């Protein structure tokens, strides 16, 4: 079944926050940390207004979302990427990273940056991200990851059909 990428609409905010919680709780090593800080999980309404939130739909079900921010220093920041746990390792997160790279290129940005959970290190490396450091977050150590958008676009490594639109859901 094809995956559709669309801008998210504000009325999906609470369901996306719930998905973020489910995905965060899926890593057993992160559960205690997440439960201690679950009150800070939020997707501010302004991010929907700024068209920073993209969802991936399988048929009509939202299975993934990302938050991509335009930064003043010449890069784009992947501020969040959360996949419904039942859909992990199916290439859906990769599609949203590809969309973020396309967005960076469209806006003339040279890099896509992310602070990654150490559990996601191999995922980001497989997409061509390089680790540039480590930072401390309220959830523990985060990996500073960077992708050079000008060097090449991420190649899709799966057969998932993609229909990209700019229609809000």
Lowest mean pLDDT among 72-81, 108-117, 128-137, 154-163: 154-163
- Can you give the pLDDT at residue 1? 63
- Can you give the pLDDT at residue 74? 75
- Can you give the pLDDT at residue 150? 67
Q: Which domains does the chain have, with CATH numbers?
A: 3-164 (3.40.630.30)
Q: What is the CA radius of gyration of the chain?
A: 15
Share of the chain above pLDDT 70, in %: 88
- Can you give the pLDDT at residue 57? 93
């Amino acid at each position: 079944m094809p995956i559709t990428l669309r801008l998210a609409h504000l009325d999906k905010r609470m369901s996306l926050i719930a998905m973020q919680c489910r995905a965060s709780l899926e890593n057993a090593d992160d559960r205690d940390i997440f439960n201690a800080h679950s009150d800070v999980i939020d997707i501010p309404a302004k991010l929907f207004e700024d068209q920073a939130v993209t969802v991936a739909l399988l048929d009509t079900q939202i299975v993934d979302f990302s938050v991509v921010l335009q930064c003043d220093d010449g890069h784009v920041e992947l501020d969040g990427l959360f996949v419904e746990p039942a859909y992990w390792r199916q290439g859906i997160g990769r599609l949203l990273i590809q969309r973020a790279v396309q967005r960076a290129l469209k806006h003339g940005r040279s890099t896509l940056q992310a602070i990654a959970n150490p559990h996601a290190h191999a995922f980001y490396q497989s997409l061509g991200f390089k680790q540039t450091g480590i930072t401390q977050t309220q959830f523990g150590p985060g990996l500073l990851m960077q992708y050079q958008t000008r060097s090449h676009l991420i190649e899709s490594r799966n057969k998932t059909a993609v229909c990209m639109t700019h229609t809000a859901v």
